[in-house]
A and B are shown apart, each in its own frame.
Chain A
Amino acid sequence: MPYQLVWLIFLLPLFSFIIIALFLRPFLKSQPKTAGYITIAALTGSLGLSVWALMEVMATGQPLPVPDITWAVVDGLTIHLGLLMDQLTAVMLIVVTVVSLMVQIYSQGYMKGDAGYHRYFAFMSLFTASMLGLVLADNLLFVYVFWEMVGLCSYLLIGFWFHRPSAANAAKKAFIVTRLGDFGFLAAILLIFFNTGTLDITQLHSLAATGALAGTTLTWAAIGIFAGAAGKSAQFPLHTWLPDAMEGPTPVSALIHAATMVAAGVFLVARTFPLFSHSTEAVTTVAVVGGFTAIFAATMGLVMTDIKRVLAYSTISQLGYMMLGLGVGGIAIGIFHLFNHAFFKALLFLGAGSVSHATGTFDMRKMGGLRKIMPWTYATFLIASLSIAGIWPLAGFWSKDEILASALENQPVLFILAMITVFMTAFYMFRVVFMTFGGSYRGGDPEAHGKPHESPPVMVMPMVVLAILAVVSGLWNVTGDFGAFMGHGETHSFTEGFFGILTHSLPWISLMLAGLGILLAYAIYSARWLSAESIGGMFQPLYNLFLHKYWLDELYEKVFVGRVLLKGFFAGLQGFDVYGVDGAVNGIASGAMATGRAIRKAHSGQLQLYGLFIGIGIIVIVACVYFFG
């Protein structure tokens, strides 16, 4: 097949968006479901083409030569709109199309009857198209273009139920916080263009490799890019938007805020990795921020009672792992975790959506006992939880083990943090499992309809598919094939990799820590050997710190934005504008008026007075001439 077809991967969902947004209106009344069908059909096409592209890249071992389009802006800035269809892109395409397709199928059930059904699918199509464009783009300008587009879609979908003030606030917050990071990205683009005259990613790779782009310029460019990545991937200190983003519909959280868009930051660092790997400062920054974010977010995940918020903090934490993986191990290791994480985390969110579909709430304190009522949701959720906890031989185990092994070699301190995070991850995930599915049902949302029930097949089916992937996706690198595909590492036989890993001590330690986490969760939330309240009481200050998210939201929104900027600095400027600048203008005007009034008094029309003035004038002149002449 001709390589032009790669363009269709990105164009199909775009067409889907255009059709739904512009042409579907007349059919909405009679055929409301058409929007979903069109989206799913387009994504099926994209998925098929992505699989084909992956096969081709695997077969040739080279980026596919996809024809490009010249997008001339003006002399001095000519950009070729091209696609970079290499190994990294091939993997990302699979992630995006698979998860997106599953989420869209699921959404048909989840969004059924919603007044904004077609709007939902229009935005989802646009998002998927932008995300695919982002991973396919071959130059930084177009990466930035799609980067902003996914941000816009995220904004629109978080605020999907815009009549809720909390959703509207969360949407705005997400956009502005990530834009703060984008500011760094844009500055990096300017710096790179100024120094190299190009934004082509392949050329930048070679410039960094040959040392033409080096020194502080390279470091600052890399740090700027990482600022953008940290905004999108919710890394400390720009992480605060992601938990709030859970205000969007749950399938949106699964697709955008778990599997794909938030991983775009990790992807961006991987995409420009030569810029990082040639700067020790930059690559260390990535590792440290990632490692810190992993444990920092996990601590907050320990205490949340809203199932989606736990998953949100878990996502931040896992994204931190990916960054850590990139920082200590390179592209293959970071991206492999991204690949696995996408499936099990999307599945966890779909599970949470399924649970809330049944109970009408996201508050785990009102759930419980859903194991019997929702067997499919329970089974798939459990698989995903085991996978994220890193239990052998599920997907999460393989990628997490590689990150830990590289961290041990390069950054011992971060390694210890990462090991503690392994324990916390297992604990908070199984806390969710036991609180939600174990014990007996605690009533759900009092205002919700009827008894809880298993979700319809259209929602269960995608969960089963993702559960299978959550088991097997990690097997890709058992033989070292994934690493080899991404350009480094050696391969060995499957059996050797599958069982051989257990001959090392590191996997045993991490498995033990994960096991301990699960056991503790069991002890507290299922067997109730320990009471959650008493433990919370023992660690009261810590518990409060975690529960209040380290008071960072307050610090940012109330203190910094609210007081320092809006009520302080900006209000000061506004006061200056009204009383200073405008006041001066009005002052000059009234000054002129007053002068006029004063002088007018002299013009009384009385000749005697004029005569007096003339007389005084003559005397003054004569006096001057006499004294100074």
Chain B
Amino acid sequence: MDFNYLTWIIFLPALGALIIAFLPRLSPRGVRWLAAVFTFIPLALSIYLFTIFDRSAEMAGVMQFEESLSWIPAIGANYHLGVDGLSLPLMILMAFLGFLVVLISWKIDLRPREYFAWLLLLETSILGVFCSLDLLLFFLFWEIEVIPMYFLISIWGTGRKEYSAIKYVIYTLFGSAMMLAGILSLYFTTGSLNMVEIAQGGLGMIQTAMPAAAIFFLLLTGFAVKLPVFPLHSWLPDAHTDAPTAVSVVLAGALLKMGGYGMIRLCVSIFPGVAHDYALPLIILAVISILYGAAVTLRQTDLKRLIAYSSISHMGYVLLGVFALGQLSLTGAALQMFSHGVITGLLFAMAGLVMHNAGERDLRKLGGLARQMPIIVVVFSVAGVASLGLPTTSGFIAEFLVFVGSFSSGVVPGIQVATILGVLGIVITAGYILWMLQRVFYGPPLKQFDKVKDASVLDRVYMFAFIAVIMLVGIYPAILTDVIKMGISPIVGLLGG
């Protein structure tokens, strides 16, 4: 490998952040353009990697574009990067959102230098999580993410922003503490920090200092907070609601996926046996997350809070797909992560636009905006029907794969019942999405919104990008599933399936 693609992709935003923070006499305009450039190049590079990613069968499970440098020899920690079929789509997702959130944030005028510097640093940390193959490096990126997030929510947020920001931090640190304990236990039992090596070696041969199930659950708790899984979700509505629009997009779009990614990459790959033994309670938690999340969503009256809660329900499908432990269900879960990232990203972007232009976010006070916002109503509706899983959108095929995969996985008896209960979630989803659209856009035009503006040209650019991806994956899912199966099939092999 001559060119260190992954290093460039990960650290270009951070470099941009440094330049923005320290280059003297930058105008806000210059800041925005710098941010756009330093997020666009990683996006272009990751799309290029997507096109040259080797999809041949013998490459299944092999990390591609690998980079490895000795980092802390004393403990065997390496600067080790690489992507496979599981992480590549998520890396692209983050790069995609990373660029678009700069466009979404174009109108930010409060301390733009700091804002964009934090935003770019956030992108670097999430990209790093998806590309790290070394446990310590993984953990480092995982922790760095908290810092920009804290400042972004508490300074540029709305409502109870300090409360939400500190809540987010404490929750995440609680999860990370568990995760760190898990990672250390893994290190002391296997003597390695190499994620691929540990997964391939398996833990069966090694005498573990503590039961494998304990390590599994330490790691899982960290990821479950992020995903989130009921009952560890209560940070999410607050953080999403009070964060500025662009940060909500990154939170819901990419950050939650760190949880799902970690579950597949570490919990399932390293502990296939434990995952199998404990599949039943986790599947039950998934169904609870789906139905409980959807039911609570239906009761929300704040536009952003409603979308935030809907994520709990949609991430429940990921959990269901992961612990159904089948080829189709895991593929579905991976696809659902990507799909939800784009769809909910667009939902939050649209909600932000409505709030920004109409100056109102209470669903009981909004109404009739279809007249003033002819473009936003179309785009918001597309995002909405994608979220409720309408065919031709990525939401449908991802959820359908999860359902088919879970129903036929046979990992635990009675998983069919759990799946059918999960399917019931799509009815409730239809309820809250259509209710939301109706409350915002339909009904007689209201006088106080007479002067409200529609989307600007810049808004239309990112709207188009979002919709193009949603429809592309919805109509031609093989574009992603071909890649995802490269990462999933070796894991299914470990599961003995």
Name A's B-contacting residues (CB within 8 A): 71-77, 141, 144-146, 148-149, 152, 155, 159, 162-165, 167-169, 171-172, 175-176, 179-180, 183, 186-187, 190-191, 193-194, 566, 569-571, 573-574, 577, 581-582, 585, 589
Contacts and interface: CB of A to CB of B under 8 A. Distances in A.
Given A149-B392, A187-B423, A573-B296, 16 more contacts: A74-B482, A74-B484, A141-B400, A162-B441, A162-B443, A165-B443, A186-B426, A190-B423, A191-B407, A193-B404, A570-B296, A570-B298, A571-B299, A581-B231, A585-B234, A589-B170
A574 B305 CA distance: 13
| Central interface residue in A152, A163, A180, by most chain B CB within 10 Å | A163
Nearest to A193: B404
Nearest to A592: B170
Contacts of A145: 391-392, 396
Interface stretch (B145-153, B184-192, B428-436): B428-436
A76 B390 contact: no
4 tightest A-B contacts by CB?
A168-B442, A145-B391, A74-B481, A582-B234
A152 B390 contact: yes
A574 B296 contact: yes
B299 A574 contact: yes
Interface string B473-497: 0000110011011000100000000
Contact of A570 (B295, B438, B442): B295
Contact of A190 (B233, B327, B407): B407
B79 interface: no
B331 interface: yes
16 contacts: A73-B401, A74-B478, A75-B485, A145-B396, A149-B392, A163-B368, A165-B443, A168-B443, A175-B430, A175-B434, A187-B420, A190-B404, A574-B295, A577-B234, A581-B230, A582-B234
Contacts of A76: 327-328
A145 B434 CA distance: 19
Contacts of A169: 438
Interface string B270-304: 00000000000000000000001001101100000
A152 B401 contact: no
| Central interface residue in B170, B370, B427, B477, by most chain A CB within 10 Å | B427
Nearest to A577: B296
Interface residues of B, number: 55
Nearest to A572: B295
A172 B170 contact: no
Nearest to A21: B378
A186 B371 contact: no
A571 B400 CA distance: 29
B424 interface: yes
A383 B39 CA distance: 68
B430 A176 contact: yes
A361 B423 CA distance: 42
A149 B328 contact: no
Nearest to B489: A75
B445 interface: yes
Majority DSSP secondary structure for residues of B touching A: helix
A165 B445 CA distance: 11
Contact of A569 (B295, B397, B438, B441): B295
Majority DSSP secondary structure for residues of A touching B: helix
Nearest to B389: A148
Contact of B444 (A163, A171, A191, A569): A163
Given A73-B397, A162-B442, A193 B234 contact: no
A194 B407 CA distance: 7
A74 B295 contact: no
B224 to A, nearest CB: 14
B385 interface: yes
| Central interface residue in A73, A163, A569, by most chain B CB within 10 Å | A73
B46 to A, nearest CB: 22
Contacts of A141: 400
A427 B62 CA distance: 74
A167 to B, nearest CB: 8
Contacts of A191: 407, 416
A183 B438 CA distance: 23
Contacts of B392: 145, 149
Contacts of A186: 403, 423, 426
Contacts of A193: 404, 407-408
A163 B400 CA distance: 34
B434 A163 contact: no
A513 to B, nearest CB: 41
B239 to A, nearest CB: 12
A144 B391 contact: yes
Contacts of A180: 427
B419 interface: yes
A162 B391 CA distance: 23
Given A77-B404, A570-B298, A179 B438 contact: no
Interface in B460-482: 477-478, 481-482
A148 B391 contact: yes
A247 to B, nearest CB: 12
A356 to B, nearest CB: 22
Contacts of A585: 167, 171, 234-235
B296 A194 contact: no
B233 A581 contact: yes
Contacts of B292: 573, 577
Contacts of A566: 298-299
Contacts of B430: 175-176, 179
Contacts of A187: 420, 423
A354 B477 CA distance: 46
Nearest to A570: B295
| Central interface residue in A146, A155, A169, A573, by most chain B CB within 10 Å | A573
Contact of A183 (B426, B431, B481, B484): B426
Contacts of B371: 163
Contacts of A73: 397, 401, 477-478, 481
Contacts of A569: 295
B122 to A, nearest CB: 24
Interface string B143-178: 000000000000000000000000100110000000
A172 B331 CA distance: 32
A153 B392 CA distance: 13
A566 B435 CA distance: 13
A152 B426 CA distance: 14
Contacts of A582: 234
B282 to A, nearest CB: 18
Contacts of A152: 385, 390
Interface string B438-453: 1001111100000000
Contacts of A144: 391
A403 B451 CA distance: 59
Nearest to B170: A589
Contacts of B434: 155, 171-172, 175-176
